[in-house]
Structure formats: structure tokens, C-alpha cells
Amino acid sequence: MGTQASPENCTPPKDERTAREKAIDDWLPITSSRKAKWWYSAFHNVTAMVGAGVLSLPYAMSELGWGPGIAVMTLSWIITVYTLWQMVEMHEMVPGKRFDRYHELGQHAFGDKLGLWIVVPQQLLVEVSLNIVYMVTGGNSLKKFHDVICDGKCKDIKLTYFIMIFASVHFVLSQLPNFNSLSAISLAAAVMSLSYSTIAWGATLDKGKAPNVDYSLRASTTTGKVFGFLGGLGDMAFSYSGHNVVLEIQATIPSTPDRPSKKPMWRGVVVAYIIIAACYMPVAMIGYWAFGKDVDDNILITLNKPKWLIAMANMMVVLHVIGSYQVYAMPVFDMMESLLVKKMNFSPGLRLRLISRTLYVAFTMFVGITFPFFGGLLGFFGGIAFAPTTYFLPCIMWLIICKPKRFSLSWFSNWICIILGVILTIVAPIGGLRQIILSAKTYKFYS
């Protein structure tokens, strides 16, 4: 799928780390454990990829229409498989060295300083915004579960309190030391994602097509249709965001010269992407087929019966988002702790981890409570942050590091991905921002 860098030009670098630096690397969450198996890669990637976005795909279809919706979703799947393969290959492109973090690969491609400035802000924006959106998703799903079970017989509880309940779980789970310690949680989350996706399209199929279903675009005005289309592109981009943690996941897999980590990692990615397609395609197409332009930005909200099944699906969403939050938070914890220990000379230990991670969870909870605009958040962050790190940044690094022959298949493939990704980055946030502004007009803070 491309031209690889010549290993003859690369010599394995000597390990010039001091004893303190080695001790720090053995403590940091990304590099402290390298005992993962290939199936860890599979369920970590499913947990990272299949999140809140899958439930918004019918809504995105209603903004794009049948033809463009299916085309964008399929093209996104193909492009992101390709760019994810590139990242897996580049993890150990230099013999004797592993790029355990996204920004380390960026530094190798762009230089130490420029690489940090290009990659770290985008990666942080992706991971932190996802954690905020997952706070909102978890709270919304808990509230939906409560409302379905109570059936109007209980006192109405504010969304704010459900987000706080969801956050309370993460104050505890955020203290898990590294990626491998998340394996059981991530496996459960992956199973839940497949389960609630199946419930979403299965219950929709059972309910059947709504009377007088309308497949025209959601908006009635030309301006609304244009902005909605752009927002739908952002929703689609949001659904393929696992690239931001893929190198960190691969870093947990052991590697030897005769069995590099890319082999088990890629096997896990293939399994994960088959599961992703099995989740995304049916939910998007059956959800839009049944409800047309009247579908909600979360398909489970549109469905009301059977109540026990919808309640169970919402609780599955909660359990899945718990795992997803932790998978995306772990690289953020790694960045924070690296900065505090390496740059600010704090002593690594339980106290530092307890304070820094608790403050981070509290921050994402506060922002989620303040701005719970679910659909708009997906569209806005999907375009401005996810598109670069998923669709075209890996291609740029591939062109720089691997230097494929000009006008070769690899060269053309990468430039097509770059052009499409840049267009998506420019246009998609516009629709999402407009949706946030419209939601904010009628929203009462902390309601």
C-alpha cells in the first residue's frame, strides 16, 4: 500500500536515557506496560471508534440525503482504514525505535518543535472534546434510562445531575495506571457498543417505516440545507476518530525484530473495522429508512418502544461510554504527567496522579454540564479536530517519511486523502457551529 523507508539508511539508536528518565517512562501510562495481545488492539479500537457518533449517523443521513450520506460514510470507512494502516506501519518505521505517541511520530516527520505544535494541540482537542461529549452522552443516556423506567411517575431530574452521576464513576476509574489495566473495561465497552448498535437498528426495523416518512433534507430553507449538509459531514468525521489513540494502543503490544508489533496490531485493526462496519452501516441506513428527516440526533431518543429494550440499550450506551472516556483520557493523562514530571520536576507518584486526573475529570464534567449541545458538538469538533488527525495528517507524515515515488499509486492516494481531509476540515465546523448557536438561543444554563 505504499513505499516504505529504506532500513539501510537507519541505524538503531542507542538508549541514552538516564536512570531517572527510564524510571519515568516505566511509570507513565503509555509505556509502563507492553504485554497486550492482538485482541487488545481489536477491542480498544472498537471502543475508541464506535462511540456516541454511531447513534447520530441516521441524523447525519437526514442532513446529507441517501446518495451523499452513503457515499460519505463508505468513503470515510475506506480512507480511515488506509490512514490507520499507515500509522500502524510508521510506529516502527525506524529500526530500533518505537513512536509510542502520536506527537513522537509528528516530531520525527516535522522536527522536534514543529511536530509538537502541529500534533499536540490537535490531538488534545480531539481527546478532550471527546471526553466532554462523552460526559454529555453518558448523562443523556442515564436520563433517558431514568425517564423510560419511570414512565412519567417519577420526579423530573435535571440533566446536570445525571452528568455528575456519570462523572463520579470516572473520578475512580481515572486512577487506573495504564492502558492494559483498562483491558476488561474496554472489552466490556466494545461488547456494549455492538449490542446497543444492534438494538438500535433491530428495534427500528421491528418498528418499521414511520407513516408519511419524508426523505427530503431536514431543513426547509436553502441556507438551512447548506449548513445542515456541512454539519452532517462533521458528524460523519466524528465517527472515525480512533486514530488519535492508535499509536498509544500499539505501544502496549510487545515487539521483537522477528515479530514487530505491527503484525498483531493490524490483525486487531482488521477485526475492529469489520465490527465498526457492522455497527455503522445498519444503524445509519435503517434509522434513516424508518424515520427520514424526523429522526433525532440520537436514534435511541426517537425510539420509545419496547420500553424495556430502549432502557437496556441506553444503559449499554452508558457502559460503553465509560470505557470510551477512559481510552481517550489515558493519552491525555500521559501528556499531563509527562509535563508535570519531566518539565516541572514533580515527583511521580500516587498523589500527583490523584490530583491531576481528578482535576481533569472535573473539568470535562463542568464543560459538559455547561454546553450539552450533543448534535452541534459532534459536527463542530468533528470537522475542526477529527478530520486533520484522522483523514490527512497521517498521509502528510507518510509522504515525508516514506517518500513514495511521485505519481505512484501511493502518492496519488495520499494526496486525494489530503485534499478531501482539508475540505472537510474547512467546511464541516461551520454547520456544527451554527447548530450550537441555534441551540444556545433557547437553552437555559445548568437546567
Count CB neighbours of 443 within 10 A: 12
Q: pLDDT per residue over 386-406, tens digit each?
A: 778 888 899 999 999 999 998
Rounded to an integer, the average pLDDT of 292-305 is 75
Rounded to an integer, the average pLDDT of 173-182 is 90
Q: Give 443 or 161, the one with higher predicted confidence.
A: 161
Q: Helix 393-402 to helix 409-442 angle, to the nearest 10 degrees?
A: 160
> Model confidence at 6, in pLDDT bands (50, 70, 90)?
very low
Count CB neighbours of 232 within 10 A: 30
CA distance 280 to 234: 15
Q: What is the pLDDT of residue 439?
A: 67
Q: pLDDT per residue over 218-277, tens digit each?
A: 777 787 778 778 777 777 766 777 788 899 999 989 888 888 899 999 999 999 999 999
Residue 407 identity: F
> Model confidence at 11, in pLDDT bands (50, 70, 90)?
very low
The percent of the chain in helix, strand and coil, each rounded to the nearest 5, is 75, 0, 25
CA distance 436 to 226: 16
**Are 62 and 288 within 8 A, CB to CB?**
yes
Nearest CA among 425, 58, 81, 5 for reference residue 269 = 81
Q: What is the dihedral of CA 44, 50, 53, 58, to 10 degrees?
A: 180
Rama region for 443: left / alpha / beta (φ>0; ψ in -120 to 50; rest):
beta
**Structural domains in the chain plus CATH codes:** 30-441 (1.20.1740.10)
Q: What is the dihedral of CA 85, 90, 91, 96, to 10 degrees?
A: 140
User: Which residues contact residue 283 at a Cβ distance below 8 angstroms, ignoring those fewer than 6 apart?
Assistant: 54, 55, 57, 58, 197, 200, 201, 299
Q: What is the pLDDT of residue 379?
A: 59
Residue 349 has pLDDT above 50, yes or no: yes
Average pLDDT, rounded, for the chain: 83
> Model confidence at 134, in pLDDT bands (50, 70, 90)?
confident
